[in-house]
Structure formats: structure tokens, C-alpha cells
Structure 1
Amino acid sequence: MTYTGIELFMENLEMVIYRNDNPVVNNHPLFLSKRSEIQLLYEELSSMTQTLFVEKENVLNELEEVRNVKKRFKDLVEEVHNIVGLFVYIANFKSKYPSSSIKSVLSSYLDFKNVMRSHKFIKTEWAKSVESSHTYKCSLDLKNVMTSHKLIKKEFVKILDNLKMDSSPSINRMKTKPPVSSVGISRTKTPVRTEKVLEEFVVGLKRDAGLIRDKLVEDQKQLDVVSIVGMGGIGKTTLATKVFNDPFVVYHFHVRAWATVSQTYEKQDLLIQILASIGVEIDPDQGDNYSHLRGMLHKRLMDKRYLIVIDDIWSTEAWDDLKPYFPNGNSGSRILLTSRLKEVPLHAKSHGFIHHLEYLTDEESWELLCNKVFRGADCPRWLIESGMLIAKNCHGLPLAVVVISGVLAKESLTKDSWEKVADSVSSYIVSDQTGCVDILALSYDHLPPHLKDCFLYLGAFPEDHKFQVRRLIWLWMAEGFIQQVGNRSLEETGEEYLQELVDRNLVNVADRKFNGAIKACSVHDVLRELCLEKARQEDFCLKINMGIRRLASMRPRRIFTNVDFFANNYLDRPHPRVRTLLCLHNGGSIINITLNHFYTYPLLMVLDIQKCKLADFPEAIELLVHLRYLAFWYIRGFPSSLCNLVSLQTLIIKSVTSLWLPNTVSNLVNLRHLKSNKDIYFGSIEKPINLQTVSTVKLGNGAGSWVKNIPCIKTLKAMTRAQDDHDFESLSSLETLVWVNIGLKGLLFDKPEYPKIHLRLPASLRKLSLTGCYLPWSDISILQSLPNLEVLKILDNAFLGPKWETGEYVFQQLKYLKLQGLEIQNWEASSINFPCLRRLVLDRCELLEEIPLELGDIPTLELIDVDDYNNFVIESLDIIWEEQQNLGNYDLKINVRRRWTPNFSIGNRKRFDFIKRRWKTFLIENEAKFDFGDGCIKTN
């Protein structure tokens, strides 16, 4: 169990003790008799958690004996969690089936009991109750737990006393085994890398080195900071070394010095390191005199133009300690920082420059690999194909290329041996003994506790997996990784967690929204392997591949599987410790899961089996009272028994039929996100629920009866039918609504009469998508009146008519506008109508004669994105681009998406042939100006 797992359990235990959310448990005679004992245990565990993981975390984390105490404490909390969780499960079971035998359930825990016998946390009455067949007797006896806790606490206090913590100036001078994250101090006059695997890496750095050098020597007299930021192993130190030794830099600066900052450092050691780097001899008697060392350095640097490289700095506090050492003599001095953390250079810079070091291209990776393996010789032709694949599978990380090059250098030069390496590049890298894992593990070791679990979670998914941020955060919430912070929602806090992982260069951004928010992310394969290794050490999760057939000897908390879990006999042994079961296997066949399948997983909080088609819904799922996240594929609609899962936060249902929700859905008081690929029909909701996301709900007749009971809704994807009432007045009362997607179904394109839709939307709305609504363009004034609208998507005949006259309407806050599948021919608009627009997207608007030229004058416009159907639109883009270039607006970019299949739904063949001829001519004429090869026009 990790720190966040402890926090989650303590939160749940607090709810059990002090709130009456579960009458079955709170009114149980056994619980009532043990309540004071449980309350005392809660207070003791809370106090110990605060001491071990918060107050003394920084100063004690490196001590081996303290790490052992923390591990024992985690195991203790884990077992308390199991005892309480199993009690809650069984109490609910007996409430649901009062006359049924509990024998099968308790039998499944006997093996678990034997495993934990040394702790004696589960009483023998459990076994007796099984033997007596129909009797029910479970224990909440926590005396042994309290005894173990007292022993752990006593041992910890003894450690503190022995170390004399209150008077000791630094724990780092204790004779303890240094952790992997400690970096030795170099006292040489030139920078020396501890990571020897990168010592010869020079490929791809020419442009970066030139840019950094120019920033260091530019004509600015004040002391300033230039920073290099990137993930571990990407070449930050190598780049800094290249610049440090550049002849022009050597000539420009009077004094150059280098210091490497470890995660745990001493200020006087850093001073000695810098002084030694510039050739100053240190008197051994003065080595511990901090004031003397600081004065000596200040004197050496005063009135000099100096360059100090601070390599591998890990915290803003470290910079605050170092900053006073460096005098500002208005002589053009510079500090060059390298860091994996974005927050450090942001904190350090005044007017400084931050350079984000990028991954190598596939071509650069291949060049580096050849240089390392063949030392200037040519690669044998029979190895080129597999070699290029190996380089590509390093995903641009120089450290990975260098390490895998060392592996290849030891292999025979045969196609088979190289193809074997190509199949498992990341595994070879992590298993190599060159210290690659230690270099990357520094980033993990430096993570705060609340981010470690979030990061480890990413490693269980397949290689090259692209995470949709919304779903990932929902999973983090269900796992308990995200804690409530002030008035911020869990979702907002989750986004901050993800951004912090990105800023620490542990997670890559795969896709962004128009406003810069992260839409999708990924993890480098080497970091993913690191996650898996750390997860194994922490007993965090188990990833099941085809090679694992039995779980008999394993005690995982989380199971991620890429195989057909239910068809491969993986449920032949109980797993009461498991909190998460996530099936990533694409099961195509319909399966039958029996009731007993989930009896062996009583503590599940996350169950994702949406890749498996269920013929019948397992009744046992309704007994999973701890369940917070449930995703499944059920072919028969909405099972009413789901309404018993009161802890549920996220419910995702894939179905082949519409979902009719019963009135008892209001029992799901914690449900925040409800999503389905089919239409959701609400009945009459009896009381308000906490829903924040619903997709896709049926609007129209009678919607007002349930809309009023979802007052917290933020995101609503809705549909209505042509024959329904289309007065959406009920939506206007939803004051928290920020995103709405409305679509119309059941209307034929050749129908002469269109439904009359009356849009009434709340002023809080920020994002709106309309599809197939057949509104007249005059109704767009309703949208113009929305004061907070930032995103507007008008799709597939959402508005009908050949002409859109924007007139005097002003979309004050609109930043993103998309027009798709419209019959519009003439669009009259100017920069006044869209003063804040950043992105304009046009898709399948074949009849549009031109984009209003005045839109190019919008000062905030960053991108115009169009498809290549309409040559007239392309020509107007050419005019806009030319005008903006002449005005000095070089920030505007134009993206042209190439489409290979013509769409003849609008217009005729003759018109298409004409457009195609014009388009070909336009391509030839503008080939030198625009690059259409990659689908993107870049304007520089």
C-alpha cells in the first residue's frame, strides 16, 4: 500500500465512523460494539501517518531503518483495510441475502487468512463459521492490530531518540546507506558526467547548442539565467557541456565554473565544488566554514564576466540557496541551469530563456546508433531494416539509443539477433547494467507521494498507449489518488496532477485542446518499463500477459490484463486484496460471467470489462459496495441492480440498445460521470444527484422532470428526435453547465418540413456543439448573447441556408469556431464579430465561396484549419496569408487537411471536376510557398 492508498483508506474509515452513509454497516451490532475501538485506531493511524509521511518525510526518507518501519506500517494499514472492507462486504451480503449461506464467501478467504496468519489479524471464528455451514460470524477484533501498531510506534520513537533528531543539523551526515538518487560531488575543473553512457552523444545538438550559446553571449549586462529542461536521459548535461566548452563561450567569459546538484545536497559542498571548478585551493581547516567559502567565491566572481553551470538542479529551494552566491556586476554574467523540472527555471529566471530539449527524430536516432555501434563504419545492408526499427523504437531518447547501442555491440551481426532486440527494445534498455534505470529512477524518487501512484498507474497500459485525459482522471479518482483540495473539484485537481507530471518531463503531451489544455497524453516506453519495475517492487499492480497462467502465488492489489481474463481460468483462486480489475483485451465474443466470478473480488473499487460483451449481467456486481468505477459492455440495456452501488463515481456502459434508467438511480449519490454510446432515458428522478457528466441523454418531452435534479451538471451530450418537443427551456436553469452537445435524430434529408427548435441555454455555457438542428441563421443571435461562450461547433446542417450575415453580432469570448457539413455559400463577417478568435476550422463546406478576408485581421487568430475540398476557400486563404505577411503578422498558421475521397452529397460532378482542376493549378503555383506534403501549411 502506498501513501495515497493510506490516505484513501483513512478517508473511508472516517466516513464509516462519523457518517451514517451505510445503515447496514453503521447499525450492525458488531460495528456498534467495536465503534470506540475503531475510532481509537483511526486516531492512532492518522497521527502515525502524519508523522511518517508528512512531518518527517524529507529528513528521514533516506534512512534504511525508517524505510523498514514505513513498510511495516503500510502492511499494517493494508490489513486493517482488508478487515474493515471485508466486514462491510459481508454485512451487505447478509443484508441482501439474509437466508443464504455465507459459506462460499468465507471459504474464499481461508487462503488469505493463512497467508496473513503471522499477523493474526483475522480470527479463527471465520473458519468456524464455514464449518458450521449456515452460520454467520465475522470478527472486527482489532486488538492484535493495536498491539502491532504500538510496537511500530515504539520502534520509530527509538530511532528518533537515537538520532537525536531535534538537535541534529543534518541527517545526511549519518552513516547510512545512500539511496540510488544521491549524486556524487565532482570537484574537477571540467564537467564530468556520472552517466558515462552519454559521454559521446553529439547527434542532433548543433542547433540547440547554437541557440543556447547565442543566449549566453547576447548583449545584456545584467546577470541572467538560461535554462535547459527535459526528461532524464535526453541530453541536457551533454548539451550544457558542449556549450560550456564552445571556443567562443570560453573566449567570452572570464570565469567558467560547474556544479552538479544532487537531490540531497549541502550548501558548503556546492561552494567547494564551484571553487574547485575555477581552480581555487581550499584550506582543509576552512572546508566547513560556510561564511568563509561564500566570501571567497563572491570575491572571485566580483567584477568578472562569469558563466556558472548548475547541472541537474531539483528544487526551487536549491536555487534560492545558490542565488546569493552570484554577484550582479552588470558585466554580462550568466547562469546556465539544467533540470528535469519545469518549475525550477520558471522560478529562477528574471528575463531568462528556457529551452525545452526535444526528442531526436528517427533519422537522428539512427545516425546516433550507427555512430555508437559501428564507430564510423557503414552498417551492413542486411541489418539496416532491423537497425532502423530499433532506433525508431527508442522514441527519440538519446539515453535509450546509447544503451541499446551497447547491447547491439555485444550481439552478433546477424539479422535474427537484431530482430530479437527490435522486438523488446525497452526491456533490453531497462535490464542493462549501465545505470540507465538509476538515471531515470531519480525522477520517480523525487516525486511527491501523491504523484507516485498516478505515475505508476500509467505503466500498466500497453506500449504506445494514448491516454484520454478525462478517462485517466476518472480512474485516478476511483483509485483514491486524487484528494479534495479546498474548493477545487477532484477533476480539476487531477488535471493539475497530470500537468505536474508533464512539467517534470515524465509524461508526454499527445494532443492538446485549442486553449492549451491537455487532451491526450502518453509515456515513453523506457519510462513505462521503469513504472512496471517500480510497481513490482511496491506490489502496486500485476500486469497479466499471455505468459502468466496462474495467480496462485501472487497477492496483487491491481490486475491489468491483455488476455481474455474470463476465458483463461484466471479466477481459479480468490483474490480478496484486489482493488482493481482492468481488462484491456479486445474480446469479440459474447461471454457468460457467473455470479461466483465476483465473489472472489469483494474489495473491488475499479472494474473495467467493457472490452468483454456480457450476455447476462452478473448479480454479484451489486454486492461490490466499494466499487467507484464501473465500465462494461452489456447487450441488454441498464441493469437496475446497479442502483445499489452507492460508492459509484463513474459508470460507462457500452450497449446495443437504449438505456432506460429506473427511478432508483437517485440512490447513486456519489455518481459524477455517466456515459454510454447509446441514448439514455431518464425517468422521474426522486431526489437530486451529483451528476457532472452525462452522455448521451435523451432530451425533449418531459425532460424538465429530471433536469431539475441534476443541479451540478457541467457536461451534457444530448440528442432529441424530430417528432419530439424541442423547447429546451429546462436547460437554461442549469447554472453550472459549461459544455453542451445537442444533436437531432430521425430526420430525413429530403424532408420538406424541418422541426422548430427553441434554444434556451444558460449564461454559464462555455462550449456548444450543434448537429443537424436545421436552424435558420437568424437564430444564431441566441448564441451571440451567451457571454462566456468560448467554443462553438456548427455541424452537419445545424444551421440551414446559403448565407450567414454576422451583421453587428459580436461573439465576445469565442476562441474556437468550427463549421462542418453546411450548405453555406456566402459568409459575411469581420474581425469585429470575433475579437478573440484563435482557431477557425472548416470541414466539408464545399459550396462556400470564400472565407471572409477581414477575419485575417483578428489579432488573436493563430490557426485557420481547412480541408482541401474547396479551391475557392484555399484561394481566399492565400489572400489572407499574403495580407497578414505584409502587415508583419507572422504568427498566423494555416493547416490544410488532404482528403482523398471526394464527397458528392452537395454539388455535382462538373463542379467537383472544375474545383479539382483549379486545385491542381493552385498546388503547382504555390508549391514553393506552402508545404502540402504533410497536410500542414507553415508560415514563418
Structure 2
Amino acid sequence: MAAYSAVISLSHTLDTILAPGGLPISPQRRKLESLRDKVSFLQQFLESSLRKTGDHAAAESLEAKIRDAAFEAEDMIVSRTSYIVEVSETKLLLFVLRSVMVFIFVNTMLQFAVKNFVSAALQSVTFDVVRILMPVVVILNLTYLLSKYVMEFKTKARNVKYEVQFNSQEIEALHKIIEKVGSVVEKMIKIRDESEADDQKPMRNLSSAGSSPTGDFSVGSGKNVVVGFESDLEEMRTRLTGASSKRDIVSIVGMGGIGKTTLARQAYDDSYIVYHFDTRAWVTVSQEYSLRQVLIGLLDSAKILTEKMYDKREEELADCLYKGLVGRRYLIVMDDIWDTQIWDAVRRFFPNDCNGSRILLTTRLSDVALCADSFSPLHKMQFLKEGESWNLLCKKVFGEKDCPRELEDIGKAIARNCGGLPLAIVVIGGLLSKESRRQEYWRNLAENLSSIVTKDDDQCLKILGLSYNRLPQRLRACFLYMAVFPEDYEIPVAKLIRLWAAEGFLKPNASKSLEDLAEEYLDDLIERNLILVSKRSANGKIRTCNIHDLLRNLCSRNARKEKFLYMVNCKDNVLKQGVNITPHRLSNPPRRLSIPPRRLSIHPDLLSIQSQILYKSEIHNSSAHSLLCTGARLIYPSCVYLGYRLLRVLDLIIVRFFHFPAEITKLVHLRYLAFTYNEALPPSIAELWNLQTLVYHNWTFGKCPVFPVEIWMMPKLRHLCITPCRLPVPQNVRMLVLGNLQTLSEVRNLRCSVDIFKRIPNLKELGISYEVSPSENWSKYQLEALVNLHQLETLKLLFKYSSHASEIVNPPKLAFPEKLKRLILAGCGIPWSSMTIVGALPNLEVLKLRKNACQGIEWEPVEEQFCQLKHLLLEEVDLVQWVANETHFPRLQRLVIRSCYKLKEIPSGIGEIPTLELIELVDCHHSAVTSAEKIQEEQEGLGNEELKVHIDLRRYFKNKFYSKIFH
């Protein structure tokens, strides 16, 4: 519920003001501390008072009152802070004006004195000198004095020294706002006490939802749990890899949530199918699509897309797709098609070379599938049988363990009442895996499910609503926030975590960082099957995630209902009704809302929406705390209104600014800022003294702007993510420390001095690129000083040379800190013998050596090194002979070798590593491919079926350099 997130946010605000070194509060500190105590009580109360049983409607109403009160109190506080900043700026301007007037007066009087009191003999000469020098002296003194006061003012801004004074009436108003929920709390306690335990009474009121959502549910979170699809998968294998040489179209048809996408994904990733096709591509179409996005998605998935293609027209993109597929046996998956128009638009771009290519469609609509190919039989998904439903539920709740005997009969009833719908079973399984395993609770759930689960999509939303209602308070705001992102959007986990932290959803924990806490929240939501894993990094961490359409629909409904979020996109009811959305309408929401929305999420898929929301400037007095503009492509508005003075989150990364919007520096409450700009940032960016995350993309190619030195005066900064920029070194003696900075990427030509690293002692992730000449003197960059970053876990070093060099005669000397877990090197050209420095790192889990990272023809690692390495990538290195076995990489799980044309073979000892799961070769020498296949055969002969070998030779015969070696 938004009540909890509102109270948490208010608590954060009070903690910031009352913290040591925070805003000076005078003379009402004690009363504000008393207010904080009351807010802490509300927070604890909400944590322990979930709406478990009883009157849910009454509970919702009472929590809404707490939410509104917390919003009102916080707005009053942050508005006062903003007012103080504005007043201070006004005072500075008045001082400047007064100073100018004083100097003009002094200048006039001094000239008058010289003229009247200096002796006549010297008067003419002296007056001429004074007349010449006086303006210079005045200007110099004026400049010095003004710069002194301006710097003093900015220092006060950065150090949060504004004097915030609440008068007695304001303090009393704040207390009344919070105290008026006292009776609300008493009523909620009474409700809670009447329902003593979680499972004592049957659940009478289950949440419901309305419209029919889109898409299918991928069963499982990390690795998909597939039950009941064995025969379907076998049929897919047969139809996709059959003897027919013509280009066949295979359609999977069924209702939402029945597993169409899951089956398609299983077939797409099946090892035999991967081996059978030269090229595979996957694109999700959904209800709202554009032909351009579909083409780019196909090109990207097929690994044909290049940076230059983004600027091409649709016809040119289609031609690139056709040329990329012609002559190859390809598999194209078009997931979640809703109409025939998109198929009619793209079908001609898939060449029919009679080589056994296949196109796999998933859709809810039979007529769409028949339109694609009326002669091809439809593969209609069936509901799971009772036994399959029970098996799936067991796997989701108990994993590999058995169900307790006392719960078996009730569990089978729950599975049966889900109607054979995988979506319902998986969601209920996620709920049961987190809840009490008592018979009373399971029995109550079984009795209620029988009345709400049907074959209707709308009924599924009731199950999803039940899962949402059972979420702990700490997770609800994080879950609702998923509605901020567009449909079918792959959400970068790093961005999601930073947004959660900036929004104030995370309850601070002394023993954990905000980022670690957010990862725990994310893992919890994934385990409940409410968020899906899209991609994982080499070390197993989640890189991107998404949310199923049904669940996103639920988020959207609840976010609107709870005034948590206002979404502007092509699905808004007001758009469907033909109502023009204007900024004025946004600032004055429908009358049923007692307060304006706290967050505005814009999905600029329609140019009309862009013009209405981004180009206008009529929004005034908005209480919005977040403005997010999220989409797949950059947009170019002529101007953007940024008059939301209470903003904490401003995500405009897809908006290209041609001029720096000065209004940004007035948003002193910003904690998250992301935008794209074509010049260097001004020093005034440091006035955002609350900023935690700064994401800055410079879209002017070839330029490498210098970051303002004032960046060192932002002590709250935690993540600084920039396109290649130069980071200035502060020259003053006084130590400026960014003690909270954890992420810094990507910095160009950084001088890694000990002094610099002392200023960022807690850095965990660092990315540096060097663009230099091949004969560069590396001593001035002091790369050995990297060892002083004692908390560093991820390091990316890229070396690019101004001219091509076949051999790097003067490679840099490197040293690394012991806590390093991920290391990516490219272009540094260090000899293979120097890899002992890397191998000695005790915590290294991922090592990626790209394009000339090492030079030499032979590599023989030292035994008992790389003791924790799990993932090894070799890409575009000139290695010829490699000597290695299980003693060199004792815990290796994945070995990936790409474009290493000179490597003759994979060491046979690699196959003896007991933890090895995958050997992947892309565009490698034929003898290396043979050795990898031989390793797999040997391991299969020894009974090791876990080791997989993937071979991809899509550019094998096209590379001229490789052809010379091959022949």
C-alpha cells in the first residue's frame, strides 16, 4: 500500500533534516523530533498490520488517510526547504546589486576627491592615471568580492547550511496532520486484534481487476520450471527441424497465461534447435508496436544490428534484415501478435530460400495465425491435467523437496481449482512458498480459489490481486513501481535499484547498504514470481528483469487507485475517450482524487503525447516528486518544462537536450538525475546537494567533455555514470572526499593517483578508457595505484590507440586490489606471463580478455591460481598455444572463446574441470572446434552429461583473415 511508502518517505525527509550536519533547524528542533517519533510509530504499526483478514474495504480507507496525511506533511516540509533556497538566492542577487551600486559611488567620489584636493601641478597627470586605472581597480575588486560571496553561497548550498525556520503555526499544523490519524490507528488496531492470526478466518473478499491483459507467463523465475509441456516441446522440435525444405510457419495459439511464450522459449533455447539453425531471432510484438521497433528488435536479436543502422529508415532496416537472413537457415520467433497488420508488414522481409527456415508465431487469436498460414495446422495449447498441475505447484512451493503429507490433499485441491492455467498455478505457488504451511491457511485458500479461477483472463487478475495483497508492506511500493516502465520493456536492474533508493522505498539498515537492501527486495519479488529474470551477468547476478503483462496491468490499476502513479501513454482511458491530455489536466487530476499524483510516468510512443507533456509549460504548483520519461528511442523536444520544485527523481535519459536546462539546478531535492546533453555540464550541477545518482550521456560523438571540478563537492553522490568524460583533479589542499561514491564509469584517461583514490575510498565499480598513442608513456597515469581501491569489486579497463599498432611495445603496468570480482581488459597488450598478477586475485569470479588485452602466442597459467574464477572469456586475442587443466581453473563454469582465429585447440584438461557447464566457441579455428567436440565426447563417455558445447560459425567463411589461416 502507498501508505507505508508515504510514511517511509516522510521519515527519510525528517531524518535528513534532523541528522547531525544536516539542515540547521531553529528553534523548533524538539517539536520536529517529536513529530519524527510519531511517524516512526506509524511506520512500525503499518509494518505489523497487514490486511490479512477482516474488513479490507475499511482497512483500505484507513490506510488512505494515513497516506494522505503523510503526503501533506512531507510536502509542507520540503516546500519550506525549497523556499529557503530561493530566499537565499534572492538575498545573493540583492547583495550583488548593492555591491555594484557601492562601487559606482566609491568610484565617483574618488575621482571627485582627486580632482579637487590634489595640487594643481600634479592634478592633470594624476587624474589621467586615476581615470585609466580606477575602472580596472573597481572591476578587479568587484570581481573578487562577488566571486568570494558567490563561492560562499554555493559552498553553503553544497554543505546544506540553509537555516530552515518553521514557525509555531507550521509545527502545530504538522502535528495536527499526523495526530488526526490517531483515531485511524486505533480503528486499525481494533481490526487487527479482531483477526488474531493470519489463517483463522476464511478470506471473503478477494481483490478483483477488470480488463483483459496481454501476453503470456514465463513459468519460473531464473530457470524455467516446465511441467506438462514435454509432448508440446517434442512436437515443436519435429515441426521446426523437419525434413521440409520450404519456409514453414508454425503458430502456437491459446489464452493468456497458458504457456505459449514458455513453450516458444523452450523450443528457441533447445540445444538441438540451436544447433540446427544458422541464425535465430526473437521479438515480442504485443498490442502496441511500431514496425521500426520490430525491425530493430529482429536485427538486434539476430546479431546483425550496428550503431549506424539506428539512423536508417524503415525501408533500409528491412533491407538490412533481408540481406542478413538470405542464404541462411533461420528461426524467427514473433511473440504475442495481436493483429494481421504487423505480419503483413514484415512477412516479405523473410527470404524463402527453401533451406528449411522456420517462423514461429504465438498469439491468442486463431484468425491471426490462420492469416499467417492457412495451410499450417495450429498448435493449440491445452490446460494442464490435474497431475501436471499438482506437479508444477509442488515444484514452485517445495522445489526438489516433497510436500508434507498433511498438506497433500489440500494442495491438490488448490492445483485443481487453478483450472489447469500455468499462470494461476505459478502465482499461487509463489504465494504459498512464502506463507505459513499450516492446514488452515491452505484450506481457506483452496475454498476461495474455487469461486474465482476460471478460463477468463479477468479472473487471473483476481489471483494476482490476492498475491499483491499478501505482499509485505516493504515490497508493495517496489512492486507498484514496475508500472513506471513500458510494456515488454527490459528493465536494467542497476537502474531499478537506484530508482527505488531515490524514491525512498527502502527502510535504512545500519548493517546493509541501500543497494544490498534493494537487491534483497528484488530477489524476494522474483521468488514470488511477480518479477521475471530476463538476463543474468557472467557471475550469475541479475542484469535485466521484466514483468508479465498481466502483472503490469495489476500494477497499473493499483498504482492509479492508490494515487501512487499517473501514467501517460497510448493506453490511457482518457486517450481512448478522445480527451486531450494537457499539462493543466495533469496538474488538476479528476475530482475523485483528493491529492495530485506523486509520480508522472511518460511513455512517449505518440508524438501528440510528447507535444502535450514535454513541450508545454502550463504546469504550476505541482506536487509531483518524480518525472520519468521511458522508451526505446531518443526524442528531440524543443523545450521541456521542469517546474516541479519538489522532484526527487528526474529520468529524461531518452530526451536530447541541445541547451543545458538551468531549471535543473533549482531542483534541490533531486536524488536521481538522468539526461542526455551535447556539451559539458556546468559547475552549477554541484548545487544539487541531495543527488545520489547522476547519469549523463553526451550524444555528440567524438567529443570528450571535462566534468566540472565541483563534482567533488557532492558528498551524497553514490553513482556517477557518464559517457566518456574527463574527471578533473581538484588542486586545492583541502581533502574533498566522496565517501558514498560506489560507481564511477566511464572516465577517459584518468590519472590514477593515490590522492584521487583517497577521495573515493568506497568505490565498488570503476570503468576507465584510454585513448592514447601506441608509444604512450604510461607512468603519468599511475595505473599501479589501482591497488589502493580496497573496496573495488568490478573494474573495466579499455585501451584505444590513435593509430593501429600490430604490437604494443610499451604495455602499461597494472596492479589490482584483492577484493576484485569482475575484471574486463581490452587493448592493454600485457604479456601472457603477466597474467599471474590477475591469477593471484583471491576473489576473482569473472575475467574477460577482449581485443589485444594480452599479446603473445602461448599461455600457461600457474597452478593454484584463478581459484575462484567461474567465467572466462577470450575474444580477439592472438593466442596460438594454450596449456591448461583442472588445476589452473578449478572452479570454472563457463568458457567462451570468440574470434580467436589462431588458437589451434582447447586444452583437453579443461574437460576435467568438475564444475564446467559450458564451452562456447564463436568463429574459431576448425581444429579448435574439433578439440571442443572431442572434449564433449570424452566427458559423455565418462557419464558427464552436464557439459554442453555450443559452436557458432556464422562469420566463419566471411573473414578474409581467417580464410588465409584455414587454407
TM-score scaled by structure 2? 0.64
Match of 2:603 among 554, 557, 562: 562
Residue pair 2:884, 2:910 contacting (<8 A) in 1 also: yes
Alignment size in residue pairs:
674
Assess if the C-alpha contact under 8 Å between 1:456 and 1:532 holds in 2: yes
Cα distance change on mapping 1:700 and 1:464 into 2, 3 Å: closer
Residue from 598, 602, 608 that aligns with 2:645: 602
**1:502 alignment partner, SS class:** helix
Partner of 1:143: 172
Is the CA contact 2:50–2:472 (under 8 Å) kept in the aligned structure 1?
Answer: no
Q: Letter of the 1:549 partner, please give it.
A: I
3-state DSSP of counterpart to 2:36: helix
* CA shift for structure 1 position 825: 1.4
How far has the Cα of 1:526 moved from its partner? Answer: 1.5
Identity %: 29
Query: 1:42 corresponds to which letter in structure 2?
Result: R
Letter of the 2:965 counterpart = R
**Which AA in structure 1 matches 2:170?**
D
8 Å CA contact retained: 1:693, 1:713? yes
Structure 1 pair 532/338, CA: closer, same or farther in 2 (3 Å)? closer
Q: Specify the SS of the correspondent of 2:479.
A: helix
CA-to-aligned-CA distance 1:196-217 (integer Å, 9 cap, x gap): xx9xxxxx96457999xxxxxx
Is residue 652 of structure 1 aligned with residue 695 of structure 2?
yes
SS at match of 1:603: coil
Question: In the aligned structure 2, how far is the partner of 1:168 from the partner of 1:457?
Answer: 30
Looking at structure 1, the residues matched to 390 and 919 of structure 2 have their Cα atoms a distance apart, in angstroms, of 44
Query: How far apart are residue 457 of structure 1 and its match?
Result: 1.2
Paired residues of 2:865 and 2:889 also in contact (CA < 8 A): yes
Shift in alpha-carbon separation, 1:82–1:166, aligned structure 2, 3 A: closer
Q: Distance in 2 between matches of 1:714 and 1:20?
A: 26
1:314-329 to structure 2, matched below 5 A, reads none
Amino acid corresponding to residue 41 of structure 2 in structure 1:
S
1:343 positional shift: 8.4
* Maintained 8 Å contact 1:820/1:845: yes
**Whole-Å separation in 2 of the counterparts to 1:830 and 1:171:** 56
Q: Name the structure 1 match of 2:3.
A: 2
String of CA shifts for 1:809-831, please: whole Å, max 9, x gaps: 63211111100011111111122
Per-residue CA shift, 1:7-41, capped at 9, x if unaligned? 1221221221243323xxx2xxxx52443333332
Choose which of 35, 55, 68 in structure 2 pairs with 1:41. 35
Deviation at 1:883, TM superposition (A): 0.5
Partner residue, 2:311: none
Match of residue 70 from structure 2: 77
Change (3 A) 1:737 1:150: closer
Q: Deviations over 1:813-861 (max 9, x none)?
A: 1111100011111111122111111110001101111111110010010
User: Which of 241, 249, 258 in structure 1 is aligned with 2:386?
Assistant: 241
1:624 offset after TM fit, Å? 1.1
Q: Which residue of 1 aligns with 2:186?
A: 157
Classify 1:312/1:513 alpha carbon distance in 2 versus 1 (closer, same or farther; 3 Å). Answer: farther
- Check conservation: 2:560, 2:566, Cα contact below 8 A: yes
CA shift, 1:674, in A, is 0.7
| Deviation, structure 1 residue 705 | 3.0
Flag the 1:4–1:775 CA change in 2: closer, same or farther, 3 A.
Answer: same
Gap change, CA 1:311 and 1:50, over 3 Å in 2: farther
CA–CA separation in structure 2 for the residues paired with 1:83 and 1:796? 56
Aligned pairs for 1:687-726 (under 5 A) are 687-689=736-738, 690-699=740-749, 701=751, 703-720=753-770, 721-722=772-773, 723-726=776-779
Residues 61-103 of structure 1, C-alpha deviations (whole Å, 9 max, x = no match): 74433432221111011001111111111111222232669xx
TM alignment of 1:747-826, pairs within 5 A: 747-750=802-805, 754-806=809-861, 808=863, 810-826=865-881
Superposition CA RMSD, Å: 3.9
Quick check: 1:518 aligned with 2:542?
yes
Distance 1:558 1:348, change over 3 A: closer
Q: Distance in 1 between matches of 2:557 and 2:92?
A: 46
The alignment status of 1:447 with 2:471, answered yes or no, reads: yes
User: Equivalences for 1:75-154 in 2 at 5 Å?
Assistant: 75-98=68-91, 141-154=170-183
Q: Which residue of 2 aligns with 1:738?
A: 793
Q: Residue 937 of structure 2 is aligned with which of 882, 902, 908? A: 882
Q: Displacement, 1:779?
A: 0.9
Q: Report what 1:911 is aligned to.
A: 965
Q: Is the 8 A contact 1:719 1:744 kept in 2?
A: yes
User: Which amino acid in structure 1 is aligned with residue 891 of structure 2?
Assistant: C
Contact 1:209/1:239 (CA < 8 Å) preserved in 2? no
SS at match of 1:543: strand
Q: Does 1:665 align with 2:766?
A: no
Query: Equivalent of 1:614, from 657, 664, 682?
Result: 657
Aligned AA for 2:778? D
**CA distance in 2 between partners of 1:842 and 1:518 (Å):** 23
Residues 198-217 of structure 1 mapped to structure 2, 5 A cutoff: 206=228
SS of equivalent to 1:97: helix
Shift of 1:899: 2.1
Report the Cα distance in structure 2 between the residues aligned to 1:402 and 1:465, rounded to whole angstroms: 27
Equivalent residue for 2:492, pick from 459, 468, 473: 468
What is aligned with 1:321?
A: none
CA contact (8 A) 2:890 2:913 kept: yes
Tell me: CA distance 1:905–1:37, structure 2 relative to 1, closer, same or farther (3 Å): farther
Q: Which of 513, 516, 522 is residue 498 of structure 1 equivalent to?
A: 522
Note if contact 1:502-1:509 (Cα within 8 Å) is conserved in structure 2. yes
Q: CA deviation at 1:465?
A: 0.7
Asked if the contact 1:846/1:869 (under 8 Å) is kept, the reply is yes
The match for 1:623 is 666
- Contact 2:752 / 2:785 at 8 angstroms: preserved in 1? no
Counterparts of 1:676 and 1:519 in 2: how far apart (Å)? 19
1:143–1:794 Cα change, 3 Å: same
Instruction: State the Cα deviation string for residues 623-669 of structure 1 (Å, max 9, x = none).
Output: 21111111111111122111111111111110133242333222211
Q: Determine helix, strand or coil for the equivalent of 1:340.
A: helix
Query: Which is further off, 694-703 or 856-865?
Result: 694-703
| 2:725 is the counterpart of 1:679 | yes
1:16 is aligned to 17
CA drift at 1:147: 3.4
Map 1:370-519 onto structure 2 (within 5 A). 402-403=455-456, 429=457, 432=458, 435-519=459-543
Unaligned regions of 5+ residues in structure 1, if any?
102-135, 183-197, 199-203, 212-230, 247-257, 263-296, 315-336, 350-398, 404-428, 915-940
TM-score scaled by structure 1?
0.65
- 2: distance between equivalents of 1:729 and 1:245? 59
Residue type of the alignment partner of 1:16: I
Q: Is the CA contact 1:586–1:612 (under 8 Å) kept in the aligned structure 2?
A: no
Shift of the alpha carbon at 1:879? Answer: 0.7
Query: What is the CA-CA distance between 1:892 and the residue it aligns to?
Result: 0.4
Checking the alignment, whether the CA contact within 8 Å between 1:341 and 1:503 is kept in structure 2 is no
| Cα distance in 2 for residues equivalent to 1:794 and 1:479 | 38
Structure 2, unmatched stretches of 5+, are 95-163, 209-216, 218-225, 234-255, 263-381, 398-403, 416-424, 438-451, 590-595
